[in-house]
Structure 1
């Protein structure tokens, strides 16, 4: 997930002859009539609603309903119109953007977690995500856990823990298919016959031994070295999409091989 940023968003320019947000807020500060000041601030808020809405929609799909984000952003806009002082800073749009993004960050921090991790992990996760994005630009490939850990002077386990806590934002279906071709339900611990597990492991080892050298390398890079599909593609000279198709085909062949072994047993 990309980090929340405060890059300013400009509100829609007013129609010809219509007062600007800055003009309205200056007039609100200048008048001693509280009713008139409130009306002017309301007009300034209405003129800036598109700014708040666009900022809210930047962060859709992160585990919080868009309607909730819009509500938070609009409430923050009201705060911005009350606190803004014309002539101070770089204008209303940057000030409002900073205020709105700050409120969105707090909302994500306080309400965006289905399972809330410790504050330490929340903050570390944000730092890991930001550093990972910068490294991806510098390295021209998705950084590995080791590369992120080295850049941040952290242990690999700390980085993995920070990344793992992202799953606390939302719940996932147990039937969701992972990048390995399995489902989340397949990864759940379950009591099983240890002898059956040994038989399955032995059968799987035999099936892998029958694969050609490149297929065995792909499996090793993915499941032993835990490289990303992009990194595997660079190692064997193919695209990430080709790696994805190769992995899916390999896993399906192994699965069918295991089923045939069990059927003939």
Structure 2
């Protein structure tokens, strides 16, 4: 067990010195914890890039923190690159994987999820280039797939983030608030009454 003086000495070291010690002794938890604490700023910066996309920041921060630990465990300073350069794609990769595997409210095939991402990127790029919303045909040509696949990806996007039935939508008048549930048809009892009436008339006239 390390005494407090050794921990204090670790705190006075820079990251390179700490990684050199940790690479030789992976059981040194004091050094690992210091490295984690010093590099959590990376998780904070990268996780903030994905907020407001249907996931709480705390969840993203937790996923990113675990990814940071993986990066610290695998980092090889002898390769010559900075730790931040190594850890960044690891953290981003885990966050994106979390979105793919956990966030979708319906089970959507990975192929469709990946295509949905390409479709959204193409929509944004084409809209910026042409100053108008692209058509399905234009998106399909840009990505290099069939229009049916684009439509499938767009439809699957509803499984990514559900929409509340109480969500307001554009109504016929600006003064009238219309929700999604107002646009959903309900059961029409008069149709059943017509069927019953027709049945009774045929039965009586026999």
TM superposition score category, shorter chain reference: 0.7 to 0.9
Q: Which one of 176, 180, 189 corresponds to residue 184 of structure 1?
A: 180
**1:18/1:180 Cα in 2 relative to 1: closer, same or farther (>3 Å)?**
farther
Q: 1:110, 1:82 → 2: CA distance?
A: 24
Q: CA deviation at 1:111?
A: 0.8
Q: 1:142, 1:19 → 2: CA distance?
A: 54
* Larger RCO of the pair (alpha carbons < 8 Å, separation 6+): 1
Answer yes or no: is 1:128 the counterpart of 2:119: yes
* Equivalent pair of 1:117/1:168 in contact (CA under 8 Å): yes
Q: CA deviation at 1:104?
A: 0.9
Q: Which one of 65, 71, 86 corresponds to residue 74 of structure 1?
A: 65
Q: 2:78, 2:131 → 1: CA distance?
A: 42
TM-score with structure 1 setting the length: 0.58
Q: Which residue in 2 is equivalent to 1:20?
A: 14
**Aligned Cα root-mean-square deviation (Å):** 2.4
Which one has a bigger Cα radius of gyration? 2
**1:133/1:43 Cα in 2 relative to 1: closer, same or farther (>3 Å)?**
same
Q: How does 1:193-232 map to 2 (within 5 A)?
A: none
Unaligned stretches of 5+ in structure 1?
1-16, 195-265
Q: 2:111, 2:163 → 1: CA distance?
A: 24
Q: Which one of 32, 36, 43 corresponds to residue 45 of structure 1?
A: 36
**1:154/1:183 Cα in 2 relative to 1: closer, same or farther (>3 Å)?**
farther
